Amino acid sequence: MTKDSLHVRVKTARRRSAQSTRWLERQLNDPYVKRAKAEGYRSRAAYKLIELDERFHFLRGVRAVVDLGLAPGGWAQVVRKQCPKAAVAGIDLLEVDPIPGVAILQMDFMADEAPAALLTALGGQVADLVLSDMAANTVGHQQTDHLRTMGLVEAAAYFAVDVLKPGGAFVAKVLAGGADNDLVTLLKKNFTAVKHAKPPASRKGSSEWYVVAQGFKGRPEPDANPV
Q: Which of 3, 173, 189, 217 is catalytic?
A: 173
Identity of the residue numbered 53: D
Residue among 33, 42, 52 nearest 172 (CA): 52
Strands of the chain (E only): list them: 64-68, 87-92, 102-106, 127-132, 164-174, 191-197, 209-216
Please say if 173 is a catalytic residue. Answer: yes
Q: How far, in Å, CA of 178 to CA of 58, rounded?
A: 19
- Residues noted as catalytic: 173
